[in-house]
Amino acid sequence: MRTIGVAMNGVTGRMGYRQHLVRSVLAINEQGGLALSDGTRVRLEPILVGRNEAKLAGVAARHGLTDYTTDLEAALERADVYFDAQVTQARVKAVLTAIDAGKHVYAEKPTAESVEEAVALARAATARGVKNGVVQDKLFLPGLLKLKRLIDGGFFGRILSVRGEFGYWVFEGDWQEAQRPSWNYRAEDGGGIILDMFPHWHYVLENLFGRIKSVYAKGVTHIPTRHDEQGNAYPATADDAAYGIFELEGGVIAQINSSWAVRVNRDELVEFQVDGTHGSAVAGLRTCRIQHRATTPKPVWNPDLPATARFRDGWQEVPDNAEFDNGFKIQWELFLRHVLEDAPFPYDFAAGARGVQLAELGLRSSAEGRRMAVESL
């Protein structure tokens, strides 16, 4: 049994605490550590880093941890790996400090607020010779793993289009508390749904369907005033909905709506419908339903008659055929194997920068009202 130190910044936040500390790092230890290919097991020693010592002490106490500090550089001295799930705006400075200290770096998306900074991070990590990775959790969701299985098995024939629907109602914070942090709704604090979600759509589309050639997006602020954690009204300066069209290499057209101002009339909070010449699928976070060309009904347009066919009944559930672990944990294990035994890990800072590039082009497309080509970085 070996031990490695993992400095974790942002563990008092939603993602840092629940998905990364509890569901990934501590869960890996609970299963007896990470098993390497030579049979050794590796235990992770979390070093909690943050701005507020009392909050860190609270998190540490809840999980029987003892190592926490507000001093990033001191934490890095004891760490092999640095992980960052801070608010996006705080990421670049802290990650660069970790790279300078020669630590391997793993970070939430987006890796930066601009392409320039995201590329600088990727270059700095390469120059310093440290392993680097960005969170691309959606790829490891059961629903998307089933979708990948369908693609690899040739189920679709020629894929024509992808339509994605993401979102839910985020309360304004006055008569009901908002369920997301207020910085997400302020552009000056690194918020906005395009910067938040387009990096996800980037790796989902590129890993499953092909390189993105162009983007057209319309970002909107539907709810102009929200109330923050203290109950104070503030102007929402960031986009809270984005309507995007992406043209992919090979001719697939993807259209994805992202919104925090939509009420859910779907089975899941995100769903992708994929239509191909031989079959179609609708994948969510966990489930995936399909309809083959041979079982496709023949609807005839006639508004004079009530619809009698129950269209949703004509779809079939894709079986699990496997046990699905938490997606964040799967990716942590892949990254740690990359660090410890040089296993392949394609989700690096260069991939992170391409995600930021798509967000930046989406924002420009919206501001200028035109389609933007996505050039190779």
Ligand X SMILES: NC(=O)c1ccc[n+]([C@@H]2O[C@H](COP(=O)([O-])OP(=O)(O)OC[C@H]3O[C@@H](n4cnc5c(N)ncnc54)[C@H](O)[C@@H]3O)[C@@H](O)[C@H]2O)c1
Q: Which of 80/137 has CB closer to ligand X? A: 137
Rg of the Cα atoms in the chain: 22
Q: Which of 51/62 has CB closer to ligand X? A: 51
Instruction: Please give the residues from 137 up to 156 whose contact with ligand X meets the rule CB under 6 A.
Output: 137
Distance of closest approach, residue 317 Cβ to ligand X, in angstroms: 25
108 binds ligand X (CB under 6 A): yes
Distance of closest approach, residue 85 Cβ to ligand X, in angstroms: 5
90 binds ligand X (CB under 6 A): yes
16 binds ligand X (CB under 6 A): yes
Tally the C-alpha atoms within 13 A of residue 22's C-alpha that lie toward its C-beta: 13
Q: Which of 181, 245, 253, 287 binds ligand X (CB under 6 A)?
A: 181
Residue whose entry in the numeric block shows the structure tokens 């009904």: 297
Q: Which of 34, 65, 88, 142 binds ligand X (CB under 6 A)?
A: 88
Instruction: Please give the residues from 237 up to 296 whose contact with ligand X meets the rule CB under 6 A.
Output: none
- 3-state DSSP assignment of residue 247: strand
Residue whose entry in the numeric block shows the structure tokens 């869960």: 27
Buried b (16+ CB within 10 A) or exposed e, 335-368: bbbbbbeeeebebbbbbbbbbbbbbbbbbebbee
Contact string (CB under 6 A) for ligand X, positions 306-345, x = contact: ----------------------------------------
Span near ligand X by CB under 6 A; candidates 5-13, 272-280, 332-340, 354-362:
5-13
Residue whose entry in the numeric block shows the structure tokens 């101002």: 261
14 binds ligand X (CB under 6 A): yes
CA gap 50, 229 in Å, rounded: 19
Two structure tokens written together for 300: 């005839």
CA gap 220, 58 in Å, rounded: 38
Span near ligand X by CB under 6 A; candidates 59-67, 79-87, 123-131, 369-377:
79-87
Distance of closest approach, residue 373 Cβ to ligand X, in angstroms: 26
Two structure tokens written together for 87: 């608010």
Q: Which of 6, 7, 12, 24 binds ligand X (CB under 6 A)?
A: 12
* E-assigned strand segments in the chain: 2-9, 34-35, 41-49, 68-69, 81-84, 104-107, 132-134, 159-167, 212-220, 225-227, 233-235, 241-248, 253-259, 270-276, 279-283, 288-292, 316-317, 372-373
Residues 121 and 96: beta-carbon distance below 8 Å: yes
85 binds ligand X (CB under 6 A): yes
196 binds ligand X (CB under 6 A): yes
Span near ligand X by CB under 6 A; candidates 86-94, 118-126, 206-214, 244-252:
86-94
Which residue has the CB atom at the shortest distance from ligand X? 13
Q: Could you tell me the CA-to-CA distances from 325 to 63, 117, 328 in Å, in that order? A: 21, 33, 9
Q: Which of 42/112 has CB closer to ligand X? A: 112
Give the interface with ligand X as residue ranges (CB under 6 A): 10, 12-16, 50-51, 85-88, 90, 108-109, 135, 137, 181, 196
